[in-house]
Amino acid sequence: MARVFEGQFIGGRSSTRRMFRDLNPADGSVWAEVPDCGRAEAAAAIEAAQAAFAEWSALPFTKRAHYLEKAAEIFEKRKMEIVEALQAEGGGWFGKGMFETGYTVEVFRAAAASVWQPTGEVLPSEYGKVSMAVRRPMGVVSVISPWNFPCILSSRGFAFPLAAGNTIVLKPSEETPYCGGLLFAEVFEEAGLPKGVFNVVTCSRDNVQEVGDELIEHPYVKGVSFTGSTAVGRQVAAKAGAHLKKCCVELGGKDSLIVCDDADMERATQAANFGSFMHQGQICMSVEKVLVHEKIYDDFLKKFVERAKKLKVGDPTKSKEHIIGPLINDKQVGKVREQLEDAIAKGAKVALGGKVEGRFVEPTILTGVTPDMKLYQDETFGPVVPVIPFRTDEEAIQIANDTEYGLSAGVMTRDEARGLAIVNKLETGNCHINCSSVNDEPHVPFGGFKASGVGKHGGRWSLETFTETRWITLDRGGRPFPPMF
């Protein structure tokens, strides 16, 4: 039986008459009925956040941290219940849910700890002034989060700005309105967070445009955090820029795993398997090109296929053995099928998989992929990956950089100096030697180059993004004014 979430969280609990259906992607059943807000509700949420800002920002930083610590405790207590929701609402396997819930707890704890970090500097002054660069919260920050890791990517967007003294309006994806939004409202309500400090606006696809525009354009909104596709991110950044608002956008990727000829084969095939197929490849930093030195290409391909063949496809709510769950919706399935068919029509060969049944796509490994194929250039966001040979490190770097994106990468080699030499020529915001491109921690600077985004989430970099820097001086040296004045 479907859940019904009648309450909206705008300045505390409120109600709305309009609802929309939240579907289980595995079987298309209705998992929940969720409030369907429009521009008016978005504006009300922003106004509630603005009204709460003065008191929240003036609260001692230790007390703000305590609310986040309490939220971490509540989230951890509800862990298994949340894992079930992530599986049913988002289509993720059990292990992904366990990782996501555990990580989100640490996001809250890292954000709470961040308030004890230095938030300013004392600068030298030629005139004997006490010269300070200080930071202060901006005001209302709107957070627009995606469906693929709804708990992590929502909490990452709001936790650090909240700790810094900003108030929040969160709009989760219409695909995961509970795990990405209403869940956090419940947690903060239980934690006793003052009303209006944290607000959630859920809406159907029909209302996304008007709600999103309000969350960017409303004059009370001072900063925008967006995680999602590059196409939408360009629009968000352009609209925020038109209003001279700070914006942090973390977007798509076409990430490579470079496997050198001296790589540990076991480690390399495991990194490729995890990086390509974790959560059906629906991760912005998924491995979307495996580049393998020609000397070890045949051996690597054989062992990669053997490892990927063991991943079981199926409804993750039915069995913990089902590692490859459904893609999030039919539109995403269509995109993956289009890339797959285009590649095969242009000469690519299927080394493993290739079958699409409903929203389930087998782990698929292709060879013979060339730059004229959509699979080579466009983000896939599905469990389909090409294995491409290279002769020299320079050629691998060229192939890895041959994309508009620049989010993450991995380099597999026993020679760390060689790995660093490759990394230093890659056009990515993140890179990992002897690990997959899929890496994140709450306190690190996470963000991409080129079409993968602008700005950084995580740790003190979130604080830099979502606070304003001011210069303040105390004149103690008696700096003279020109005598004619």
- For 29, 431, 433, the CA distances from 420, given in Å and listed in that order, are 48, 10, 8
Strand runs labelled E in 265-336: 287-293, 312-313, 322-324
Cα distance between residue 276 and residue 429, in whole Å: 19
Cα distance between residue 400 and residue 255, in whole Å: 7
Cα distance between residue 360 and residue 379, in whole Å: 18
382: nearest Cα among 316, 439, 331: 331
Q: And the tokens for 234? A: 């360009």
Amino acid found at 330: D
Measured in degrees and rounded to the nearest 5, phi and psi for residue 461 equal -70, -30
Give the sheet arrangement for strand 167-171, strand by strand: 13-15, 7-9, 198-200, 167-171, 140-144, 221-227, 246-250, 453-454
Q: How big, in percent rounded to 5, are the helix, strand and coil portions of the chain?
A: 40, 25, 35
Q: Are 410 and 257 in contact (CB under 8 A)?
A: yes
Residues in CB range of 447: below 8 A, 6 or more apart: 248, 250, 429, 430, 453, 454, 455, 456, 457, 461
Cross-strand pairs, 8: 14
Residues in CB range of 462: below 8 A, 6 or more apart: 111, 114, 156, 159, 160, 161, 248, 456
Please give the positions annotated as active site. Answer: 250, 284
